[in-house]
Structure 1
Amino acid sequence: MAMPTIKQVRAYTVRGGGADYHDQGAEHWIDNHIATPMARYPEYRASRQSFGINVLGTLVVEIEASDGTVGFSVTTGGELGCFIVEKHLARFLEGQCVTAIEKMWDQMYFATLYYGRKGIVINTISGVDLALWDLLAKVRREPVHALLGGPVRDELQFYATGARPDLAKDMGFIGGKLPLHHGPAEGEEGLRKNLAELATMRERVGPDFWLMLDCWMSLDLNYATRLAQGAHEHGLKWIEEALPPDDYWGYAALRRQVPPGMLVTTGEHEATRWGFRLLLEQGCCDIIQPDVGWCGGITELIKISALADAHGALVVPHGSSVYSYHFVITRHNSPFAEFLMMAPQADRVVPMFNPLLLDEPVPVNGRMKASVLDQPGFGVRLNPDCALHRPYTH
């Protein structure tokens, strides 16, 4: 059939949850004294929102085709992302055939190279790319995973990220990833507290349940090595994002120094095939964790995954709901997925991008049947009760 062309691109922002899941109310575990690169300053230690982790807000990209079909996506980026979409990227999209995704990605990336490459610009390109995949799949009346080659397994299995791995075990997840609460600036006492918390959680979950630590870019090589060595007796499966994302040399050294059998993982804040090529070629990690809403979208994640496969590394995308589920279900080197526990006390399963998305699937007993993902596009809708704001037009 004749494919429609892209008629109009629109960009909106919205506050409160959604893709900017750090934009939460008070007393949420995700903002409770978590080790960060800013924890070296006591005034920014207790809350990540204190140094502005929630300033961007959610970016919503809508792309309307000439036949009236609308694809959309959500990621972080807020008003900055809206400006980039409306004032720069739209020119590479409108008038193009909806199938020309590779060409559009290429033009967006190279046109922004002089001020982009990573960060907010790649977040924004990722959002546009996800909306393009949603649009094309809806035009073809297929789920996105069908465009990616189709499922290679009947269901997804999940580990949970949150403050209560013990509750996650009861909910059927295969593992639990704790946020690290104390960084190097809190000294030996902080290190002891980190290990004590891990020991307590190991007692609660028993010997076979996966336990991991999310360090959120907060450590140096010496501290990360000592933490990994101390955590070994508590059966830590992996240490995640221990160092700043640009410290490829530190990651390579850490991987050599962790106890045998412990995995080193990173990549949540890495972007594009070139960034992940550095991680893989320098032997920085065992598992890469690209966020499909930040690394360049589905178009780039396909390339990143192929690189990882050639290097014998697993790809376990950072939690991004349906946008990663449709990819993981199609790849053998993505054997499980992450689920962020967005309930304030991590004591129940709620949709990750609540309240912004409707029909967003969640794991049941730590699993999700492939058939749950069989609706056209990514299978979700925007909640009309969420007030979208379009700060720019073109």
Structure 2
Amino acid sequence: MSASTTPIIRQVRAFTVRGGGADYHDQAGGHWIDDHIATPMSKYPEYRQSRQTFGLNVLGTLVVEIEASDGSIGFAVTTGGDIGAWIVEKHLARFIEGQRVTDIEKMWDQMFNGSLFYGRKGIVLNAISGVDLALWDLLGKVRGEPVFHLLGGPVRDELQFYATGARPDLAKQMGFIGGKLPLRHAPAEGEEGLRKNLALLADMRERVGPDFWLMYDCWMSLDVNYATRLALGAQELGLKWIEEALPPDDYWGYAELRRNVPKGMLVTTGEHEATRWGFRMLLDMGCCDILQPDVGWCGGITELVKISALADAHNALVVPHGSSVYSYHFVVTRHNSPFAEFLMMAPKADEVVPMFNPLLLDEPVPVNGRLKVPDRPGFGVRLNPDCALSRPHTH
């Protein structure tokens, strides 16, 4: 494909949709993902039982579509809803339309620097990530290749997964290599809450035996003292790692926690971090052993490549936060991403269902905890036409 025949990007469109999708917290009642999970808001009793009470599901899913001059359409989904759609349509589109489909690095740089005065992290990076992922999907479709080919090709035949959900014991039966539990009780629930956290871990250890990985996802809810006590109490229960124990901006606290935990226990974080600069802080300050960027939030594939290279130079692993095919295509190409996360989106965490169900069609799922990434063009998934997309803004 020469420069003269390279398709040009004709139009960028942004849509929103409610319910299960990239905003996987937008679930109906009775789902494990919204059942008394420790959060930074757990200090307030009225917001303890359900994360939706303080608005975890307010954004909804953002769908970005990018159409090229040859008729090819790339798309991607992330969290962002109406706000993200406005940013894409009213601001980011100007950096995309009229460009060659191959000029992804330039487009990323212009989106990031053009929004620097109000962006840097959060919803703006979600929007940039969505556009970036759609650009990679589009390039794969134009070239007739899967994204993992564009990233250098696979370094292993298949991915192996750990499962995140309320039932690690069932995850073991399904063939996963480990199970990550949501922490239920935060510091405001006192000594009794700490005992309950350790008791749940002990119960799961008894169910899964000594060799199955068990981890705790603390979702930014703890302080250094509580996280240290939890880690020390969990040592004899074989806790593999303690995840996102502190608020994402507390780099100093993470460095202290990593010094405090028992030897051999890992500290992991990064789900709510963004860009190479944020992850440089985590690495330079010795905050964690495993980085967990979400490819739909950290800046997309273009930025994840840089984050991964930085981590590799620090001998740190990169295991992206669950983001379905968008991380699978990356993980299969990197030696320092030896396994992947799978979010158990069945309400009772008792069966394997597609993570972004019902929004994506052809979304692959692990079988016996393993998956060979399909070699269909782009990310290899389609939008479900039965999902009611809305385009709240145009340009």
- Normalising by structure 2, what TM-score? 0.99
Give the Cα–Cα distance (whole angstroms) in 2 for the partners of residues 291 and 344 of structure 1.
22
Give the Å deviation of 1:188. Answer: 0.2
Residue among 363, 366, 371 paired with 1:368:
371
SS at 1:392 equivalent = coil
User: How far apart, in 1, do the equivalents of 2:133 and 2:353 lie?
Assistant: 23
The aligned runs of 1:51-70 (5 Å cut-off) are 51-70=54-73
Aligned to 1:225: 228
Equivalent residues of 1:328, 1:335 under 8 A apart: yes
Q: Which residue identity lines up with residue 320 of structure 1 in the other structure?
A: S
2:182 partner letter: P
2:97 is aligned with 1:101 = no
Q: 1:190 aligns with which of 167, 188, 193?
A: 193
1:14-25 alignment to 2 at 5 Å? Answer: 14-25=17-28
Residue 382 of structure 2 aligns with an amino acid whose one-letter code is R
User: Could you tell me whether the CA contact under 8 Å between 1:326 and 1:373 is conserved in 2?
Assistant: no
SS at match of 2:41: helix
Which amino acid in the other structure matches residue 128 of structure 1? V
- Tell me whether 1:135 sits opposite 2:134 in the alignment: no
Structure 2: unaligned runs, 5 residues or longer: none
Alignment of 1:257 with 2:245, yes or no, is: no
Give the AA of the match of 1:312: N
* 2:377 alignment partner AA: P
CA distance in 2 between counterparts of 1:132 and 1:102 reads: 10
Partner of 1:181: 184
Cα deviation for residue 96 of structure 1 reads 0.2
| Correspondence 1:389 to 2:390 | yes
Q: Structure 1 residue runs of 4+, over 2 Å off?
A: none
CA distance in 2, matches of 1:169, 1:347: 11
- SS class of match (1:34): coil
Inter-partner Cα distance in structure 1 for 2:184 and 2:234: 14
Q: CA deviation at 1:34?
A: 0.1
- Alignment equivalent of 1:266, drawn from 256, 266, 269: 269
1:83 match:
86
Structure 2 residue matching 1:268: 3-state secondary structure: coil
Partners of 1:232 and 1:30 in 2: how far apart?
26
Equivalent residues in 2 for 1:1-394, closer than 5 Å: 1=1, 2-369=5-372, 372-394=373-395
3-state DSSP class of the match of 2:89?
A: helix
What SS is found at the alignment partner of 2:42?
A: helix
Q: Which amino acid aligns with 1:265?
A: T
Q: C-alpha displacement at 1:178, in angstroms?
A: 0.1
Q: Distance in 1 between matches of 2:39 and 2:374?
A: 35
Instruction: Report deviation, 1:151.
Output: 0.2
Cα distance in 1 for partners of 2:351, 2:28 equals 17
Name the CA distance, whole Å, in 2 between partners of 1:315 and 1:192. 31
CA distance in 1, matches of 2:329, 2:356: 16
Secondary structure at 1:237 match in 2: strand
Give the match's secondary structure for 1:293.
coil
Q: Which consecutive residues of structure 1, in runs of 5 or more, have no partner in the other structure?
A: none
Shift of 1:373: 2.0
Counterpart Cα distance in 2 of 1:41 and 1:124: 31
- Cα distance in structure 2, aligned partners of 1:305 and 1:34: 30
TM-score (structure 1 length as normaliser)? 0.99
1:72-118 CA-partner distances (Å, limit 9, x unpaired): 00000000001001000000000000000000000000000000000
Q: Residues of 2 paired with 1:93 and 1:368: CA distance? A: 33
Equivalenced residue count is 392
Give 3-state SS (helix, strand or coil) of 1:294's partner. Answer: coil
| CA–CA separation in structure 1 for the residues paired with 2:374 and 2:284 | 34
Report the AA paired with residue 222 of structure 2.
L
| RMSD (Å), alpha carbons | 0.4
